[in-house]
Structure 1
Amino acid sequence: MKVLIVGASGVIGSAVHAHLGKRHEVLTAGRNSGQFRVDITDDESVRRLFAEASANGPLDAIVSTVGNLHFGPITDMTAAQFDIGLQNKLLGQVRLALHGQHVLKDGGSITLTAGILSREPIRAGANASAVNAALEGFARGAAIDLPRGLRINVISPTVLTESLADYGDFMPGMEGVPAARVALAYQRSVEGGQTGRTYFVE
């Protein structure tokens, strides 16, 4: 398979790249690194990414491990701050799906990334909870409409073991999971037959 990973330089993206790269041809994209550059908040940038990535033929799979969020108490949050997660992690990944479907082979797949805060909220995490839940809902709805046997799924991991030093204090009592184990869920999405699913990794 030819798999495009958007966000391949991040902790999850690097683990997914390492795992899928043993089995498939992997192309990489990111804002500041990778074979291709992309700004997921810009339609023209995303169109250009897919035109370049599919120049030698359609893709079998698109994997997104990108997206920024706003963390802060709801008592001080502004609509503009809340919009950060909507425009970046939510609409950015939706944009990848909307444009990316047209460069996939029949039966190809799209895999997006949410996170545990959709079901286990934390203090100052309302934006993340809303965005992650919306991504899961988008995949369920989009799965009904996608033509040509195309599939779409979401991976929703808990906090990564590699990130506990940075984020563990915000998630008291939550046990981390290694990025290498999270990468297995992306393999299930890319190589399996399910669609409209959220794969939880805890």
Structure 2
Amino acid sequence: MKILLIGSTGTIGKEVYNHLKNTHEVFGAHRNSNTYPVDITNKESITSIFEKLPKLDAVINAAGTASWKHLQELTEEDHYIGIQSKLMGQVNLIHIAKDYLNDQGSITLTTGILAEHYEPKASALSLVNGAIHSFVHSASQELERGIRLNTVAPGAIAGDFPKDQKFAGYFPVEISDVVKVYEEAITGNKTGQVFKKYE
């Protein structure tokens, strides 16, 4: 498979990239890349990365950010950070990527445990994660040519977060287990799914 992985230097993206490159042709892209730079908050940047690559079989996004503040401190501008990046960045990626994928291709996004479990200072991220879940459920039914759309929703990653400490009510998960979920998302036949890795 030919796969574009956006966010290939992050905690999750780096491990997914290192695993998949052993058996697939993976193009690792991130904001500061010299070879495949991409900024998911910019539609022209998203289009540009696809124009540089051959027709793809899968796209994985592991990039996106949002504000971390208590609700009382969040401003409208704080909310827009996550809306522009993790929400609309991934939504725009879907709209653009679908035209550059082979038939039966797949798009896999990244959300997380905060879509449905509480953690202090995470309301802004919960907002965008929950919105992506709803969008994936619906938009996946309207993609053509057999293109599949899913999202992976992991908990905190062990090593990046204390192993013996709960995050949003759950202990961290091993990155190797999370990587397997991404692999399942791109190689399986499911669509419209939220692949949770924390229950």
Query: Structure 2 length normalisation: TM-score?
Result: 0.94
Q: Is the 8 A contact 2:108 2:182 kept in 1?
A: yes
1:7-63 CA-partner distances (Å, limit 9, x unpaired): 011110011112211221101110013630011111111110111123xxx100000
Gaps of 5+ in 2: none
Percent identity over the alignment is 35
Amino acid at match of 1:182: V
After TM superposition, the structure 1 = structure 2 runs for residues 120-131 of structure 1, keeping only pairs within 5 Å, are 120-131=117-128
Q: Distance in 2 between matches of 1:122 and 1:66?
A: 20
**SS of residue matched to 2:149:** strand
- Off by >2 Å, runs of 4+ in structure 1: 171-174
2:99 maps to 102
Amino acid at match of 1:102: D
RMSD: 1.6
**SS of residue matched to 1:162:** coil
Q: Is the 8 A contact 1:139 1:196 kept in 2?
A: yes
Which stretch shifts more, 117-126 or 26-35?
Answer: 26-35
2:47 maps to 47
Amino acid at match of 1:95: N
Gaps of 5+ in 1: none
**SS of residue matched to 2:72:** coil
CA shift, 1:178, in A, is 1.5
CA shift, 1:172, in A, is 6.7
Q: Distance in 1 between matches of 2:36 and 2:157?
A: 26
Query: Structure 1 length normalisation: TM-score?
Result: 0.93
Q: Aligned pair 1:68/2:65, yes or no?
A: yes
Q: Distance in 2 between matches of 1:196 and 1:174?
A: 24
1:64-117 CA-partner distances (Å, limit 9, x unpaired): 000011010111210000111000011111111110110000000000000000
1:88 maps to 85
